Structure 1
Amino acid sequence: MLLNKTIKPSKILEETINYVKNGLNDIIYDITIERAVIGIFFSGVILNTGHAGISATPIKEIPEAVCCPSSARSMPNAGHLTERSVDRYLKDATSNIPMKKAMGIAVLSALSSYCREIGLTEDYDMKVGVDALDCVDLKDDTYPVLIGAIGPFLKVLKSRKKPFSVVELDTKTLKPDELPFYVPPDKTGEIVPKADVLVITGTTLINGTLEGILEIARPDTKVVVVGPTASILPHAFFKRGVDILGGDIITHPQKMLDTLAEGGSGYHLYGHSAERVLVTPKSPGFNP
């Protein structure tokens, strides 16, 4: 089973962390967490540099979230999040504790934004205000596979009235007319190699299943990774065959965290405190 609830190490995260540390060098030791929020759907941070980052809140990955004593073990630093060093958060990004890992990814996302500002973007292109899902070319004979119930893309796939598959851990997130296309997680290894287009939720970074999925995709498959959790630097994604990365850029950090603290989702962020971004490898004639 490739898609499951077991938290696994992520080479993509490890390599991105190393890239950020090397890029920022000693500057990273002067960076601190100014504010941190854990929301219902997403969690985010603001650095003392003014840069912000975001990640999905992995509520479903925390079976202990049913009583106070066990929930405390899932996020042991609550109340002291701004007192922790950036380096500690980056270590957490490779942790096997889902909530700590998510907060580590949010910090990595904020640091990635800082890296872009200082020019570490020489080998990829980024277009702000472009939804990566709008750049997915679906011909009549294209067989798409969706990893995660990504609502907007499910709507597009259903409107085509063509076959597709969606692999999802929680069937309750699927509407009745989407259930006929459902593939259980233990069939991931069978369905992914059939995909002409493979769209993967960025939350696979949190449970560490992304690399395993990418490994079994065909070389000619168009691979797209999307979602706020995928808002980190793209190099390690492209190295593993991802063609398009669709994340977010935070335009109004404090407003973004205020929205998350009030239970906001992505729909409450876009056009107000965040914008979607399309990230692709920089190469002549590249066509997303």
Structure 2
Amino acid sequence: MSRDILEETIACVRSRLGDLDEIVIERAVVGLFFSGVKLSTGHAGSAATPIKDIPEAVCCPSSAMAMPFPGKLRGRKAATLMEEAVGSTGVRRALGIAAVNALAQAAAERCGSPGAQVLSDVDAFDAAEIDAGEKVVVVGAFAPFLRSLRQLGADYLVLEKDPATLKPVEIPFFRPAEQAADVIPQADVLLITGTTLINETLDLLLGLAKPTARVAVVGPTVSMLPDAFFRRGCDILGGVEITDPDAFLDVISEGGSGYHFFGKSARKIVLTPRRIHQGDGSSQLRTQQPGRNPI
């Protein structure tokens, strides 16, 4: 289950930051597309808002009962909110993951990212270095990737629970999420949205990938502490480093997305286990995991 990855990441946060009692929530936001928190340390983290867990369109849905103490998060211990990442589902879980990611950013700033190559202002799609002849499977209707795959003329399929999230041009490539066990083993490149951390499917999806597949997990839900992801065979983590927390939270509170915060209040980062240096002196982003076949 994806909570295993989250539990390992929480343990990593505690190990690297030590006593968390003095770190509290300064601000929390639940936006249309993303949720986020800012800590008293000045660090911030984000996660996708599971909007489909709040299906009612009128006030006031019973799902509002799942909100973690509306209006009362400020001043609460960050470690307490972090534990929601492995507890409840829905909005509480999203805010818990955002707290994990905020603390992970603090930990990465303090301790670095041992064993990882960190690349700033790099898109995870570019880091995946997809060749036109490779079979690509995308988990989740991640619009920028689907557009790039069309432009590349790639052979791809997209696993998605709700086909309504796809454009008409993408429907021929759609496969129901229930077909994951048949579709994912076909992938030479597997691109997974970090939202799978919220719906607890990431570990299962990673386990379906063939040993030679190049695997990327992407999105603002992804942590800057990659240890647990790398141990499960991820080659690329594409996340977000929030550079201006208040501006970032303002944007997502107004329904903003990556189009509005990248290059302004946040930047893209890519983490890989290590960079492989080629014999001609150039270096590639493709990575090699212990126990996996070289790419």
TM-score using structure 2 length = 0.91
Corresponding letter in the other structure for 1:202: G
Q: Does 1:247 align with 2:245?
A: no
Q: Does 1:146 align with 2:138?
A: yes
Q: What is the aligned counterpart of 1:10 among 3, 13, 33? A: 3
Residues 1:162 and 1:87: Cα distance change in structure 2 (over 3 Å): closer
Q: What is the aligned counterpart of 1:211 among 200, 203, 224? A: 203
| CA displacement at 1:65 relative to structure 2 | 6.3
| CA displacement at 1:120 relative to structure 2 | 3.7
Deviates more, 1:95-104 or 1:197-206: 95-104
Q: Does the 8 A contact of 1:40 with 1:260 survive in 2? A: yes
Greater RCO (Cα-Cα under 8 Å, separation 6 or more) = 1
Could you say which residue in structure 2 is the equivalent of 1:128? 120
Corresponding letter in the other structure for 1:52: A
- Match of 2:18, SS? helix
Could you say which residue in structure 2 is the equivalent of 1:62? 54
Could you say which residue in structure 2 is the equivalent of 1:238? 230
Could you say which residue in structure 1 is the equivalent of 2:27? 35
| CA displacement at 1:262 relative to structure 2 | 1.4
Instruction: Give the whole-Å Cα distance in 2 for the aligned partners of 1:206 and 1:65.
Output: 22
Corresponding letter in the other structure for 2:193: T
| CA displacement at 1:134 relative to structure 2 | 1.1
RMSD between aligned alpha carbons? Answer: 1.6
Could you say which residue in structure 1 is the equivalent of 2:285? 287
CA deviations over 1:120-155 (Å, ceiling 9, x no partner): 422112111111111222223200000011111111
Instruction: Give the whole-Å Cα distance in 2 for the aligned partners of 1:180 and 1:109.
Output: 35
Instruction: Give the whole-Å Cα distance in 2 for the aligned partners of 1:140 and 1:9.
Output: 31
Could you say which residue in structure 1 is the equivalent of 2:150? 158
Corresponding letter in the other structure for 1:107: A
Instruction: Give the whole-Å Cα distance in 2 for the aligned partners of 1:135 and 1:232.
Output: 16
Could you say which residue in structure 2 is the equivalent of 1:186? 178
Identity %: 47
- Aligned pairs, number: 280
TM-score using structure 1 length = 0.93
Could you say which residue in structure 2 is the equivalent of 1:4? none
Instruction: Give the whole-Å Cα distance in 2 for the aligned partners of 1:249 and 1:12.
Output: 20
Could you say which residue in structure 2 is the equivalent of 1:3? none
Q: Structure 2 stretches of 5 or more lacking a match?
A: 278-283, 287-295
| CA displacement at 1:283 relative to structure 2 | 5.5
Q: What is the aligned counterpart of 2:111 among 113, 119, 122? A: 119
- Match of 1:164, SS? strand
